[in-house]
């Protein structure tokens, strides 16, 4: 096993939360004077960096933490009913067999992730669930995970679907696998030169050198 420590993003990587998140955002947009989003816009928005997306939506960085918190709370009632990406149910136990550390680092809440995993019967697979309230704070959490579990950076792989996941991993000095089935487009992900590009979940088996 090339990476005995696998850490996953949640939204867009494990859970298909996009449509639900757009619905929650549009509800918040009505009460916070923000620009609403339609599903027809999503293909174009997938090419955006975080700063570009916030500018497009008219959201200042100062408002992001409060909006994220409200969005996570609004998503809680439906989280257990949202789908896991196809193939993950079979893939995750297979990967877990080869890992000593198997975790989640997300901008969603730990409560939401716990509820989702419990509903799918997958909670016992994971060593930890870590949450950050900032869009740009994941690199610090990755470094903390390295220290907490005494893991070599060369043994860690972060799996995420956004360009900010790639940047965070590179800043933390660890390898990163970019999932093309999530929010950011393949074009946007490739611009940041991740260690691996995943076209489908099973590509992780190749990245981790599992037969």
pLDDT in tens, 161-192: 999 999 999 999 999 999 999 999 999 999 99
Dmax over Cα atoms in the chain, in whole Å? 52
Number of domains in the chain: 2
Mean pLDDT score across all residues of the chain = 95
99, 137: one domain = yes
Mean pLDDT computed over 61-84:
92
pLDDT above 80 for 12 = yes
Q: Which residues form the catalytic set? A: 9
pLDDT in tens, 92-141: 999 999 999 999 999 999 999 999 999 999 999 999 999 987 777 899 99
Whole-model pTM: value is: 0.95
Domain that holds residue 40: 18-80
9, 28: one domain = no
98, 130: one domain = yes
pLDDT above 80 for 35 = yes
Contact status, residue 50 vs residue 145, Cβ threshold 8 Å: no
Task: Out of 63, 80, 97, pick the residue that ends a domain.
Answer: 80
92, 192: one domain = yes
pLDDT in tens, 21-32: 999 999 999 999
C-beta contacts of 80-86 below 8 A and 24+ residues apart: 80/115, 80/116, 80/118, 80/119, 81/119, 82/15, 82/16, 82/17, 82/20, 82/116, 83/15, 83/16, 84/14, 84/15, 84/16, 84/120, 84/122, 85/13, 85/14, 85/15, 85/16, 85/181, 85/201, 86/201
């Amino acid at each position: 096993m090339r990476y005995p420590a696998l850490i996953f993003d949640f939204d867009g990587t494990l859970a298909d939360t996009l449509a639900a998140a757009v619905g929650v955002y549009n509800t918040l947009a009505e009460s916070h004077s923000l620009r609403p989003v339609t599903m027809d816009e999503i293909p174009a928005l997938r090419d955006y960096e975080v700063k570009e997306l916030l500018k497009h939506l008219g959201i200042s960085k100062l408002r992001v933490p409060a909006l994220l918190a409200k969005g996570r709370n609004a998503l809680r009632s439906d989280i257990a009913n949202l789908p896991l990406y196809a193939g993950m149910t079979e893939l995750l136990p297979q990967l877990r067999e080869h890992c000593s550390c198997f975790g989640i680092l997300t901008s969603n809440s730990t409560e939401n992730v716990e509820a989702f995993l419990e509903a799918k019967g997958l909670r016992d697979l994971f060593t930890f669930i870590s949450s950050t309230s900032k869009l740009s704070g994941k690199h610090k959490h990755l470094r903390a995970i390295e220290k907490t579990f005494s893991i070599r950076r060369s043994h860690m792989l972060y799996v995420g679907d956004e360009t900010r996941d790639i940047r965070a991993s590179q800043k933390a000095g660890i390898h990163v696998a970019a999932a093309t089935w999530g929010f950011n487009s393949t074009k946007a992900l490739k611009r940041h030169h991740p260690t691996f590009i995943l076209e489908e979940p099973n590509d992780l088996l190749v990245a981790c050198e599992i037969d």
